Amino acid sequence: MRTVTFIEAITEAMKEEMERDERVYVIGEDIGIYGGVFKATRGLQSLFGPMRVIDSPLSENLIVGSSVGAAAMGLRPVPEIQFSDFITPGMDQIIQQAAKLRYRSGGSFSVPLVIRVCCGGEVGGGLYHSQINEAWFVHCPGLVVIAPAFPYDAKGLLKAAIRDENPCIYFEHKKLYRSIKQEIPDTDFTVPLGKAEIKRKGKDVTIVAYMLMVHKSLEAAEKLAKEGIECEVIDMRTLLPIDKETILESVKKTGRAIIVQEAPKTGGVAGELSAIITEEAFEYLDAPIKRVTAPDTPPIPFSPPMEHFWLPNADKIIKAVKETMAY
Amino acid sequence: MPVNTKIASKAKEKLSAPFSAEEGKKLYYYLLKTRTVDEANRKFFRQGKLLGTYFSAVGQEATTVVPTFLSRPTDAIGPSHREIGCSITRGIPLKNMLAHLMAKRTGMDKGKCHPCHYGGSEYRIITPASTMAAQTVVVTGCALAFKIRGEDNIGLGFFGEGATAQAGWHEAMNFAGVQKLPIVYICQNNLWAESVPARLQAAITDYSDRAKAYGFPGITIDGNDVVQVYVTVKEAIARARCGEGPTMVECKTYRWYGHSEIDPADYRPKDELEGWKKKDPIPRFEKYLMDQVMLTPADKTKMVADIEKELEEAFEFADKSPLPAPEEALEDVYAPGTFEDWVKGWLK
C-alpha cells in the first residue's frame, strides 16, 4: 500500500494501461510536451512517444471524433478535454458519434474510448473554467458517465473504463486533484462500472452525492454525528447507468433522502435520483426528498463571495438534513 | 504533386488506358450496378416499398465507385448519405441494403438508423450519422489509428461541398495535415447543398483551394470523367499509403434528383440539369471502354442481366424479411453483456 493524490491515481491508471495494452493512447491539448495543464499526463510522452501521447491542435471536435474513428478501428483512445467548459465544440462527436455508433450500426461497431474531462468549482476558475455539466451526458443513452471522489476509485474506475467496450466519459474534479490523498494497493485493481458505494454507514438519513460533494457530505455527516444524527453517505461513482439498488436499499432503511449535486438545480442528476426514489420507494419515505444544489444560474460566478454563495457545502447539507429530520 | 493543381477536364481517350481490360470492365460493372440499383430504389420508394425517404446519388456515381474500387478492403471509408456507390463497390450485399431501406431486421442497422446510412464494421465503412462532415472527422481518426499502428491502410473521406462549411470538417483537415495522415478526401461538389447554391456556401469556386490552408494538395477534376477520377485518386491513394499525407480531390459533379425523393428540386434551373445529363459519367465511360475494345455489347448485356437478377432476389429477400420486434429497440445500446438490465429495466 502507498498513499497517492487523486491526480497521481489518474496518471498511474493511464501509464499502467498503456504499458499493459499497446492499443491505448492519449490525445488532447497540452498533454504531451507540457504534460497537461494540471499535469495528469506528466511523463507519459517521454515513456510512450508522440504517437501515443498526442498533442492535438485546439480542436475538441477532432479530439473526440478522431478517437471515435480510431476506436472503431480497434484502438483504445483516451482523449482529454482540458476543461469541461471547452467540451461544447466536441458535443456533436460525443452525442451523435460516440454514443450512437453502436446503436445505429445495429451493434456492428464498438467504440471503446474514455473521454477524460476536468471539471468543477471551488478553485476560483470563474464562468469558463469551473463548469460542472455531467447531466448533459447522463441524458445520452449509450454513454457510461463516471464521476469518482477518491483516489482508489479514480484509478480503479479509469482502468475499468479503458478496458470496457463502451464509450465512457470520465469526470475529474479539479479541486480533488491535490487535496485528497488515499492509500491504494500496489497491485493491479479495477473498480466496477455502474456501482455506487456506501462511504459512511448510518441509519437516520441517506445522503447521495458524487465527486467533490461526497467530501462535503462526509464533512456534514461527521458534524451531525456529534449531534446524534447518523447519516449514510452514498458515493454514486458512476452516474450512467445508475445503480438504483444501492440507493433504494439505503433509503428503504433510513426513510429519508438528501441528494447533493454541485451543478445547477433544474434538469440535473439530483432530480433524476429523486424521481427514482419516489417511483420505487415512495412508501418507505418519512419525509420529502431534499436536493442540495447550486442555483439556476450559469455556472460558476467568478468573484469569491458569489462562488462561495453559489456552491453547495457542508453547512447547506447540514441544514437540509435537519429540516428533513424535523419533518 | 504540387498544391492546388488544376487538371483540365479532358478525357484521355487517345491515350492508352491506365487499367487492364479486366479492371476496366469490373469498374464499369460497379458503376452500372450502382446506377441500376439507385434507379430501382427510387421506383421502390414511389411504390411505397421503402420507408422514410430515399437519397439518390444518380449522376455522381464516379465519385464514390472509383475511389472505393481503388481501395483495399482494409481501408476505412467515412461516407455521407449519398454514398451508395461505396457500399455496392465494397460489397455490402444488396439484400441487406434493400432491407435497410425497408427498416427490416435484416438491414445492416437492424432497422435503427435512417435510410441510405449504409455501413458496417466488416466492410470498414463507418455507418454514417446525418450530421454533415461528422464522418470526415471519424474517418480521419481511422487514418490516425493506421498511422499509430504502422499499418499501410488508408482512410477515404466522402463529403459534399456543403459539408466543408462545418467546423468539424476544418478541424479534421487541419489535423490530417499536421500529422500527415494516410487519407484521401473526396469532395463531391454537386453545386447544391440541399437547396442552397454553392455561391451562398463559400466565396471560392474551386473547393480544393481549401486544402492549401491545411498544407496538402487539393485538386479539382471533372467528377463525371471516370478515367480522370481513376488516375487522380489512384495517385492520391498511393501518396497516402506511402506516408506522404493527405490529398483533397474535388470532383465537380451533379445529382440529377432532389436532395431526397420528397424534394422536387424546383430551386434549380431546368437547363442546368439537362446540361449535366449530357455529361453522364456512365455512357461516357462505356464509350471509352468500347473505343478501347475493353467492353463489348455482349459483356454489357450479361452485366445487366446479372444485376437485375441479383436485384430481384435482393428485393424478394428484403420484402419477405420481418420488421424488428418492438423490444429490439432496447438492443445494441451498450456492448453485449454490459448494462442490459439497465436498458431493459425501463420495461418494468
Convert the pLDDT of each residue in B168-203 to its tens digit: 999 999 999 999 999 999 999 999 999 999 889 999
pLDDT per position as a tens digit, A124-182:
999 999 999 999 999 999 999 999 999 999 999 999 999 999 999 999 999 999 999 99
Question: Hey, do A2-184 and A197-325 end up sharing a CATH topology, with the first three levels equal?
Answer: yes
Collapsing DSSP states into helix, strand and coil, what is residue A15? Answer: helix
CATH topology of domain B9-347: Rossmann fold (3.40.50)
Cβ contacts of B142 on chain A, cutoff 8 Å: 69-70, 72-73
B139 close contact with A: CB closer than 8 A: yes
Q: Which CATH number fits domain A197-325: 3.40.50.880, 3.40.50.620, 3.40.50.920, 3.40.640.10?
A: 3.40.50.920
Tens of pLDDT, residues A184-210: 999 999 999 999 999 999 999 999 999
Q: 220-259 in A: which are within 8 Å (CB) of B?
A: 241-242, 244
Across the range B37-42, mean pLDDT stands at 98
A293 lies within 8 A of chain B by CB: no
Confidence tier at B348 by pLDDT (50, 70, 90)? confident
The pLDDT assigned to B15 comes to 62
Give me the residue spans of the domains in chain B.
9-347
Percent of chain B, pLDDT > 70? Answer: 96
A93 touches chain B (CB under 8 A): yes
Which residues of A are less than 8 Å from B343 in CB distance? 141, 241
User: Nearest CA of chain B to the CA of A36: how many Å?
Assistant: 19
Q: Is B330 on the interface with A (CB under 8 A)?
A: no
Residue A102: which of B108, B137, B332 has the nearest Cβ?
B332
Domain A2-184 sits in CATH 3.40.50.970: yes
Q: Hey, are the CB atoms on B175 and A110 less than 8 Å from each other?
A: no
Enzyme catalytic residues of A: 129
**ipTM surpassing 0.90, yes or no?**
yes
Q: What is the pLDDT of residues A52-79, one digit of tens each?
A: 999 999 999 999 999 999 999 999 999 9
What is the rounded average pLDDT for all residues in chain B? Answer: 94
